[in-house]
Amino acid sequence: MKIQMYNNPIFYDLCTKNKKDDIPFYLDWANNCKGKILEIASGTGRVAEPLINSGHNYTGLDISPKFISFTQEKYSKGNFIYGDMRNFSLGQQFDLIILPFNSFLHLLNQKDMKACLKSIKKHLSNDGLFILDIFIPDPEFIYRDSKKKYKEMVIDHPSEGKYIIWQTSEFDELKEISYINWFFENEKKQTTYEYEFAMSIIYPDTMDRILTETGFIINEKKGDYNGELFDENSLLQLYVCSKT
């Protein structure tokens, strides 16, 4: 059976349970900003939770109505709004806008990427900061055998038991998009789910160009959540930007 991960808070939370390495990074920037924070593509509240619990004025925007109702119910002190990051109008500006955990890579062409960045710019206060977090393309992942299933992770579903998640991926070199399939195989082999998604593969020079062409100044480019500056060994592209 096909599933849509972004309609399914239980599966999303199980699959991202161990992703915690970026939280101190976002908390630090939030503590330094003292104003309103907007998270683009807020998901099920993985980043929202620690920010709201630390007393920040937090708004999340996401395209999944299911995730928006789930997070609004769970975190009543936050403000969760349904919207498309490519074109949104919230009628207010924010002092810190964050776009964590590769969500920007769901935009599959440069027109959508630039539309998103323009919407973000409109919502950023004059001395506000915008933080973008995407991974560095890994040739070993991009060019691996598209016919082979690779083990991605094991999750423990509360009522359905353990699932092994296998992954296949195929890279379209012309479009610079990776098409990915996840196969959820239940330990009892009674249930299988399939989840398909696509991700843009964005190289650092392209990301630098798209940001500057949409009027952002790249204040800092970090290569990890500890704040190390970006270099040829970095695994992440972590941009801290302001408006021109």
Ligand X SMILES: C[S@@+](CC[C@H](N)C(=O)[O-])C[C@H]1O[C@@H](n2cnc3c(N)ncnc32)[C@H](O)[C@@H]1O
Least gap, CB of 109 to ligand X (angstroms):
12
Chain centroid offset of residue 199 CA: 11
Judged by CB under 6 A, does residue 237 bind ligand X? no
Least gap, CB of 12 to ligand X (angstroms):
7
**Cβ-count burial of 164 within 10 angstroms (0-12 exposed, 13-18 middle, 19+ buried)?**
middle
Residue count at the site for ligand X (CB under 6 A)? 19
Least gap, CB of 11 to ligand X (angstroms):
12
Can you list the alpha helix ranges (DSSP code H) found in the chain? 9-15, 23-33, 48-53, 65-74, 110-123, 139-142, 204-213
Q: List the interface residues with ligand X, window 78-117 (CB under 6 A).
A: 84-86, 100-103, 106
**Cα(111)–Cα(165) distance, rounded to whole angstroms?**
33
Out of 25, 67, 75, 171, name the contact with ligand X by CB under 6 A. Answer: 67
- Contact predicate 131/221, CB 8 Å: no
Binding mask 20-49 for ligand X (x = CB under 6 A): ---------------------xxx--xx--
Least gap, CB of 36 to ligand X (angstroms):
17
Least gap, CB of 157 to ligand X (angstroms):
19
Strand 79-82 relative to strand 192-200, pairing: unpaired
Cβ atoms within 10 Å of 189's Cβ, excluding its own: 7
Out of 57, 64, 214, 237, name the contact with ligand X by CB under 6 A. Answer: 64
Secondary structure (DSSP) of 32-73: HH-SEEEEES-TTSTTHHHHHHTT-EEEEEES-HHHHHHHHH
Least gap, CB of 88 to ligand X (angstroms):
8
Out of 10, 27, 63, 164, name the contact with ligand X by CB under 6 A. Answer: 63
Q: Judged by CB, which is closer to ligand X: 73, or 231?
A: 73
**Cα(20)–Cα(166) distance, rounded to whole angstroms?**
22
Least gap, CB of 60 to ligand X (angstroms):
8
Q: Judged by CB, which is closer to ligand X: 27, or 186?
A: 27
Q: List the interface residues with ligand X, window 131-160 (CB under 6 A).
A: none
DSSP SS3 for 222: strand
Interface residues toward ligand X, by CB under 6 A: 6, 16, 41-43, 46-47, 62-64, 67, 84-86, 100-103, 106
